[in-house]
């Protein structure tokens, strides 16, 4: 029979986290999977196709990992909805392939039995049999199949063993739904399942010894040690930060060069006018300024992927649990908050693994206070102004450290207050975390993950950020002034007029209307502040970024109020820094928070609160400082 | 408390997982409390064998070849007896 292009059936891959679903998914589909981001749902269900040995095309869904079908976290809910055919535009799967880790049958079989109870045809993929047998487990797949009444296929998805046999098992006619023989009238399903699994494991998965001291145990003796464990954690985190900031510089330079070259090329093609200005300043400048952060995001996800894939992330969450508890959060909130130092967007998305809905909301709420990399250009502009050049870079580093510490401590304090206000959870979500054995990183999986995230970021830059850039460009271009330079034009534009309007609002913080306008423009993205300040303070382009930043710094230092007082005193600079630490000036983050919390109210509330808090904190710093005579 | 746990372990009495000593091989006698459903999903079921690997703020146990970190609140809901 020739291969058909029509999809004959849908297969769903289901299993506990770490059972190897995604490895199996990739082994089945090769390179033709795509991410199906179902609207309104927070977690991705991967979708792909493959052909059976008889040439039939099957669709395969990779569902998020879950421990049961009770669905008490958002990713578990997606899996259950997919099984029941509740996802928009998707029917229930024709066959469910339950992927279980052969070493942990006692736990993983629970989920498989629940699928059989749902009345769905089921195939059991007994994954990682090599590891199980090395650990002394004696498996009998044939007996398991006979007992359960479903096909059981031993395999090793990471090396491609058993894939052909699985495809054979999915030939037509597809397997029928089995009967849940363990369910007895008068017995709770939970207890019935448990005793059935105990019996099954005694028959078909016998352990030679209960406990063995593995290599992972030896590694954990150091990595979870009360002293060495912390030393390793700090070293790893510092290493990740250092790498993100230093390695990303090189590709960021390329993007900047490409952006400059593209701008120059468009400038040479088009006559001077609004269209050229829109393309060069609005589109290329606006989108380029955001795409610039792509290398950092790629590196961050690469490191997160590495830490997760090797199994270290669970150890980090375990160690950090005590620290996070001080803020009323659990160790699971550590990864999202840590990611937020690079960018709040992946940080907010990483909160999906948190079971407790309230803890998740609180983590999302405070994540933007972890100083992200977009604030760094602003800090790098302002901090040297605070200190004289000859005061040494270590003092600048110290100030930077304090900036990061202030943001972090404030986030923790806010989390504690908010957690107290939201009250205890309806469902208990105490800390319970599986520590997977250490494994070599699965590079293909990590790279796929990084590419998916990077693509999502670029897509966002091409749509939302492009729109905002065009809007900002229009606001700062129209209405047109009759003549004069860029600064006059900006003063005459809608944006400039808004700046004049908001001067009374920012004056108590120690800023003039121009700085206020620059702050306002940076609500689309913080790093826009530097570009706006350069235009507003009439700085020529100095060729490269550092020269321009140095010239801008000189201009700012020399700027005065109309009465001749210097515009920026150390106090007003600190006030400006404090504003940037606290304000949520990032529209993409607001959009992601709205999606992840499924509530625009929460997102807008967060935006309003953080802006108001930033304003009050700046006011307190500036006016308090003046009262104290600074 | 430690002495009581030691006595309990020696006489084979049931105790909570918090009370059990580090390094002990244990058998689960009962799981009850608000978090028991989640505990059962993760494999904390009656008659399961486990070894307590570390105490402290969160405990680490090894069970069926898996290592699990659980909070003291949850460990309080797991009743164990020294495995003979």
Q: What is the DSSP string of A440-472?
A: ---HHHHHHHHHHHHHHHHHHIIIIIHHHHHHH
CB-based contact B69 A68, cutoff 8 Å: no
Quote the pTM value: 0.70
What sign for the dihedral angle of Cα A184, A188, A191, A197? positive
Task: Give residues with Cβ within 8 angstroms of A390, minimum separation 6.
Answer: none
Q: Does A104 touch chain B (CB under 8 A)?
A: yes
CA A23 to chain centre: 21
CATH number at residue B59: 2.30.30.90
Question: Confidence band (pLDDT; 50, 70, 90) for A626?
Answer: very high
Q: CA A241 to CA A238: how far, in whole Å?
A: 5
Distances (CA, A) of A27 to A23, A162, A164, A169, A196: 6, 10, 10, 16, 32
Q: What is the pLDDT of residues B18-62, one digit of tens each?
A: 998 888 888 888 888 877 777 877 778 777 788 888 887 788 888
Q: What is the pLDDT of residues A392-436, one digit of tens each?
A: 667 777 888 899 899 999 999 999 999 888 877 655 556 788 888
pLDDT > 60? residue B5? no
CB-based contact A435 B68, cutoff 8 Å: yes
Per the structure block, which two tokens stand in for A246?
């230093």
Question: Confidence band (pLDDT; 50, 70, 90) for A64?
Answer: confident
A382-418 burial: b if 16+ Cβ within 10 Å, else e: bbbbeeeeeeeeeebeebbeebbebbbebbbebbbeb
Given the DSSP bridges, would you call strands A34-36 and B66-71 parallel, antiparallel or unpaired?
Answer: unpaired
* Mean pLDDT of all residues belonging to chain A: 82
B:30-59 residues touching chain A, CB 8 A cutoff:
34-35, 37-43, 45-49, 51, 53-54, 56-58
CA A499 to chain centre: 34
CB-based contact B40 A103, cutoff 8 Å: no
CB-based contact B35 A428, cutoff 8 Å: yes
Per the structure block, which two tokens stand in for A474?
């229009």
Nearest Cα to Cα of residue A76 among A87, A61, A66: A66
Which residue range is the domain that position B32 belongs to? 2-82
Q: CA B24 to CA A123: how far, in whole Å?
A: 38
Are the C-beta atoms of A79 and A116 separated by less than 8 Å?
Answer: no
Q: CA A308 to CA A289: how far, in whole Å?
A: 30
Mutate to test the interface with A, among B28, B36, B37, B41 (most CBs of A within 10 A): B41
Go through chain B and tell me how many residues it has: 84
Superfamily per CATH, domain A7-207: P-loop containing nucleotide triphosphate hydrolases (3.40.50.300)
Nearest Cα to Cα of residue A95 among A125, A74, A69, A70: A125
CB-based contact B62 A103, cutoff 8 Å: no
Nearest Cα to Cα of residue A127 among A248, A38, A271, A23: A23
Domain ranges of chain A: 7-207
Are the C-beta atoms of B68 and B6 separated by less than 8 Å?
Answer: no
Q: What is the pLDDT of residues A540-585, one digit of tens each?
A: 655 566 677 777 788 888 888 878 888 888 899 999 999 999 999 8
Which residue of A431, A434, A435 is in closest CB contact with B71? A431
CA A294 to chain centre: 13
Q: CA B69 to CA A485: how far, in whole Å?
A: 64
Most confident among A157-171, A507-521, A572-586 (mean pLDDT): A572-586
Number of domains in chain B: 1
């Amino acid at each position: 029979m020739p291969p058909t292009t029509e999809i004959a059936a849908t297969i769903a891959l289901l299993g506990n986290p770490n059972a190897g679903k995604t490895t199996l998914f990739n082994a089945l589909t090769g390179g033709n999977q795509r991410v199906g981001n179902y609207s309104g749902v927070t977690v991705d269900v991967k979708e792909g196709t493959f052909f059976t040995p008889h040439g039939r095309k099957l669709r395969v869904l990779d569902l998020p990992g879950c421990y049961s079908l009770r669905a008490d976290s958002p990713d578990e809910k997606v899996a259950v909805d997919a099984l029941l055919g509740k996802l928009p535009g998707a029917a229930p799967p024709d066959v469910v392939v339950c992927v279980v880790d052969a070493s942990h049958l006692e736990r993983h079989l629970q989920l498989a039995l629940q699928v059989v109870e749902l009345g769905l045809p089921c195939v059991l993929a007994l994954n990682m049999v090599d590891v199980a047998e090395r650990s002394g487990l004696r498996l009998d797949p044939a007996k398991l199949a006979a007992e359960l009444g479903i096909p059981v296929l031993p395999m090793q998805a990471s090396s491609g063993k058993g894939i052909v046999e699985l495809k054979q098992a999915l030939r037509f006619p597809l397997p029928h739904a089995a009967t849940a023989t363990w369910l007895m009238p008068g017995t709770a399903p939970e207890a019935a399942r448990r005793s059935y699994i105990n019996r099954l494991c005694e028959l078909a998965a016998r352990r030679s010894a209960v406990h063995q001291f593995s290599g992972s145990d030896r590694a954990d003796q150091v990595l979870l040690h009360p002293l060495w464990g912390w030393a390793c954690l700090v070293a790893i985190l510092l290493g990740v930060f250092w790498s993100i900031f230093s390695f990303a510089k090189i590709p960021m330079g390329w993007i900047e060069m490409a952006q400059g070259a593209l701008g120059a090329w468009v400038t040479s093609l088009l006559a001077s006018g609004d269209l050229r200005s829109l393309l060069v300043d609005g589109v290329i400048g606006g989108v380029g300024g955001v795409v610039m952060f792509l290398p950092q995001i790629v590196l961050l996800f690469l490191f997160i992927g590495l830490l997760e894939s090797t199994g270290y992330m669970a150890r980090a969450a375990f160690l950090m649990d005590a620290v996070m508890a001080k803020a009323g959060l659990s160790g699971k909130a550590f990864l999202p908050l840590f990611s937020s130092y690079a960018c709040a967007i992946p940080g907010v998305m990483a909160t999906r693994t948190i079971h407790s809905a309230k803890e998740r909301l609180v983590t999302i709420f405070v994540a933007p206070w972890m100083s992200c990399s977009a604030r760094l250009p602003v800090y790098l502009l302002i901090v040297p102004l605070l200190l004289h050049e000859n005061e040494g870079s270590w003092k600048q580093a110290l100030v930077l450290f304090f900036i990061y510490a202030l943001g972090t401590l404030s986030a923790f304090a806010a989390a504690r207050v908010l957690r107290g206000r939201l009250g205890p959870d309806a469902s208990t979500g105490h800390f319970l975390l599986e520590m997977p054995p250490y494994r070599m990183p699965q590079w293909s999986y990590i790279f796929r993950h990084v590419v998916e995230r990077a693509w999502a970021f670029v897509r966002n830059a091409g749509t939302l950020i492009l729109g905002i850039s065009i809007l900002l460009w229009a606001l700062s271009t129209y209405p047109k002034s009759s003549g004069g330079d860029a600064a006059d034009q900006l003063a005459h534009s809608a944006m400039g007029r808004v700046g004049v309007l908001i001067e009374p609002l920012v004056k108590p913080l120690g800023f003039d209307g121009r700085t206020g306008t620059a702050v306002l423009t940076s609500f689309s993205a913080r790093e826009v502040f530097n570009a706006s300040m350069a235009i507003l303070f009439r700085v020529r382009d100095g060729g490269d970024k550092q020269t321009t930043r140095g010239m801008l710094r000189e201009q700012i230092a020399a700027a005065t109020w109309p009465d001749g007082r210097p515009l920026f005193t150390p106090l007003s600079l600190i006030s400006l820094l404090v504003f940037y630490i606290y304000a949520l000036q990032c529209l993409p983050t607001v959009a992601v928070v709205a999606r992840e919390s499924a509530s625009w109210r929460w997102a807008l509330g967060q935006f309003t609160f953080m802006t108001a808090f930033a304003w009050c904190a700046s006011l307190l710093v500036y006016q308090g400082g003046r009262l104290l005579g600074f | 408390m430690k002495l009581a746990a030691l006595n309990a372990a020696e006489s084979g009495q049931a105790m909570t997982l918090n009370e059990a000593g580090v390094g002990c091989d244990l058998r689960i006698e009962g799981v009850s409390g608000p978090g028991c459903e989640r505990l059962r999903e993760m494999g904390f079921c009656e008659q399961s064998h486990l070894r307590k690997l570390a105490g402290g703020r969160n405990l680490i146990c090894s069970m069926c070849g898996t290592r699990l970190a659980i909070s003291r609140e949850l460990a309080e809901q797991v009743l164990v007896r020294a495995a003979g």
